[in-house]
Amino acid sequence: MNSLLDNCTSGGCGAKIGPGELSKLLTGLPGLVDENLIVGYDSCDDAGVYKFDEKYSIVTTADFFPPMVDDPLIFGRIAASNALSDIYAMGGKPLSALNLVCFPQSMDMGILREILTGGAEKIMEASAVLAGGHSIYDKEPKYGLAVTGIVENDKIIRNNTPEVGHKLILTKPLGTGIIMAALRGGVASADTVKKAVTSMERLNKYSAEKMRGFDIGACTDITGFGLLAHALEMASDKVSIVIYAGEIPYFVEAYQYAEEFLVTAAGQRNRNHLAGKADVSRLPFALQELLFDPQTSGGLLICVPPGQSADLLASIQTDDPVARVIGEIVKRGKDIISFV
Amino acid sequence: MEIIDVLGKPCPIPVIESKKALAKKDTSGVLVKVDNIVAVQNLEKMANGYGYGFSYVENSKDSYDVTISKDEKSPPTPNAAYNGLPVARRDAAHRGLIVVISRNTMGEGAEELGKILIKGFIYSLTELPVLPECLIFFNSGAYLTSDGSNTIDDLRKMEERGVEIFTCGTCVNYYGLQDKLAVGAITDMYGITEKMASASNIINI
């Protein structure tokens, strides 16, 4: 009863309710219309944006999930990085955070203290402050943050406004979902887990800071829906996306695990969601699985004019060397997402 | 037939437990009990990938019996939601298929695109169910087998699996790549001609 993972049936962003189900749930909810709500949930964006005055908007988001690793300190860091990421994906700067905590009454409170320490470290790294939180007893532990950030009105970066010709940059390797699933199954090597953990703990702050000064067309962060579902949201009903299959950064071990069919339920739900929208049948099976793999605290997917992509990539790579140009935006065609 | 009860266990545990059981020599198949359709689909991908027979029965919304058999393919389940390709089993390199690459880009048009395409092409070669017998690089294709090329890892993977890789020596000298060959061996025009003449199939890039 004192191991984090033993208490959980699914961890990390893989525990998210699937994108298809979610949009059904949200359709037709009663609510006021307020013109100051610049970005709401109708566009499936990363965070809500509410216009505060003529210069600034408030960015709000909340994210929490069950543990995907046994070490409470690491879990705290990953959950907080993941929650903060939505602010970065909107072009914003986090200001304050609230802890969201579910914890079993029978578990050692020292574990919770470690989780909160990990979270607090990341809030500090983000130059934000912890303002409070809410904690309840629950059968399974869960942790995350509600974050408030700020963004200049003319610097808001949406997830669904890419322009034809723009290049797509992905800043972190894919495969954390598969590696964590392999860990759960007791077949992941310690080295591999360490690599994935380092990636998940990493704030998207550093890549986001590099976006300043570039004419970013759109940005989102990759989470439990996997790369392709986020790409689909980015394309919305306006453009199509060509993905350079050979350029996708991923953990080699995740590719190997996928070849052994060590894949997640969330990955299969993502595959089902994308059926008919992205034809992956010509790609190797393992690469398909990586494209559907639910990412916890995944990287940013950034859309940038072609003339600026090399400079932005070089700048991002100084801190996040695995970042790659992984595709481009093209005119809306028969396929929303295709591969070369 | 061994029964594996993984009700309540998250993916990939059903796949891991089934593979363990199927790995035993005297097991001809397994009956896997799972509680959700997504686990059924993940088992189906595994069964398809290994060429095992697969079928399932839905007892209720949270109870499914999946049968995976090692020796013969069961008829495919109707409405199977799996939309991917089975993973090909890999054999030794294909005798007689030779891929000739005479440039460091692919197709006519933008050079940047051409470079992405050639990298994608070489990567795709590594995923062929049966690998080519031999890859031959000449003219600016020599850059692809030299230090600094972004396809070296894919080429080494193929070499490890028995694919012969040759680069034209004259070309290496012409481009000043003498000390930079990173994979395969140098050959001359006799070697290239001999290989091409003995090929049953040639892909020319």
pLDDT in tens, B11-36: 899 999 999 999 888 889 999 999 99
Sequence-distant (≥ 6) Cβ neighbours of residue A295 within 8 angstroms = A13, A172, A174, A176, A177, A222, A223, A224, A226, A227
**Is pLDDT above 60 for B79?**
no
> In angstroms, what CA-CA distances link A256 with A66, A81, A112, A121, A252?
26, 27, 34, 33, 6
pLDDT by residue, tens only, chain A of 340 residues:
456 776 555 666 667 777 678 888 888 888 888 999 999 887 778 899 999 999 999 999 999 999 989 999 999 999 999 999 999 999 999 999 999 999 999 999 999 999 999 999 999 999 999 999 999 999 999 999 999 999 999 999 999 999 999 999 999 999 999 999 999 888 899 999 999 999 999 999 999 999 999 999 999 999 989 999 999 999 999 999 999 999 999 999 999 999 999 999 999 999 998 998 899 988 999 999 999 999 999 999 999 999 999 999 999 999 999 999 999 999 999 889 999 9
Indicate the SS3 state at residue B27.
Answer: coil
Please report the pLDDT score of residue A186 as a whole number: 87
CA distance A240 to A236: 8
Cβ atoms B132, B164 nearer than 8 A = no
Catalytic residue (choose from A13, A44, A219, A303):
A13
**For A281, which of B16, B41, B83 is closest by C-beta distance?**
B83
Indicate the SS3 state at residue B114.
Answer: helix
| B92 touching chain A per CB within 8 A | no
Sequence-distant (≥ 6) Cβ neighbours of residue A293 within 8 angstroms = A174, A175, A176, A177, A178, A226, A227, A254, A258, A263, A264, A267, A270
Residues of chain A whose beta carbon is less than 8 angstroms from a beta carbon of chain B are 9-10, 181-182, 184-187, 244-247, 259-265, 268-269, 271-272, 275, 280-282, 284-286, 288, 340
Query: Is A5-155 CATH 3.30.1330.10?
Result: yes
Provide the CATH topology of domain B2-69. Translation Initiation Factor IF3 (3.30.110)
In a mutational test of the A interface, the residue from B6, B83, B149, B150 whose CB has the highest number of chain A CBs within 10 Å is B83
Indicate the SS3 state at residue B68.
Answer: strand
B window 111-140, beta carbon within 8 A of A? 116-117, 119-120, 123-124, 127
Q: Note if A13 is an active site residue.
A: yes
CB contact (8 A) between residue B46 and residue A271:
no
CATH superfamily of B97-204: DsrEFH-like (3.40.1260.10)
**Alpha-carbon torsion (B197, B201, B203, B204), positive or negative:** positive
The alpha-helical segments, DSSP class H, found in B68-199 are 111-126, 152-160, 169-174, 189-198
CB contact (8 A) between residue A340 and residue B49:
no
A272 CA: distance to closest CA in chain B (Å)? 7
CB contact (8 A) between residue B10 and residue A288:
no
Strand order in the sheet with A239-243: A218-221, A300-304, A167-170, A324-331, A239-243, A337-339
CA distance A97 to B147: 48
Residues of B with CB below 8 A from A310's CB?
none
Closest to B93 (Cα-Cα) out of B205, B204, B183, B201: B201
CATH superfamily of A167-339: PurM-like C-terminal domain (3.90.650.10)
**For A340, which of B12, B87, B117 is closest by C-beta distance?**
B117
Domains of chain B, residue spans? 2-69, 97-204
**Is pLDDT above 80 for B134?**
yes
Peptide bond just before B12 cis, omega within 30 deg: yes
DSSP label at residue B146: B
A97 CA: distance to closest CA in chain B (Å)? 31
Pairs across A and B, CB distance < 8 A: 85
**Residue B117 — φ and ψ, nearest 5°?**
-65, -45
Residues of B with CB below 8 A from A282's CB?
85
- Average pLDDT estimate for B131-150: 91
Residues of A with CB below 8 A from B120's CB?
244-246, 340
CB contact (8 A) between residue B16 and residue A9:
no
Domains of chain A, residue spans? 5-155, 167-339
Sequence-distant (≥ 6) Cβ neighbours of residue B10 within 8 angstroms = A9, A10, A181, A184, A264, A265
In a mutational test of the A interface, the residue from B4, B7, B9, B11 whose CB has the highest number of chain A CBs within 10 Å is B11
- Strands (E) located in chain A: 37-39, 48-51, 56-65, 93-103, 129-137, 142-152, 167-170, 218-221, 239-243, 300-304, 324-331, 337-339
CB contact (8 A) between residue B12 and residue A184:
yes
Written as one letter, the residue type at B181 is: L
- Alpha-carbon torsion, ordered B37, B84, A239, A159, to 10 deg: 50
ipTM of the complex: 0.82
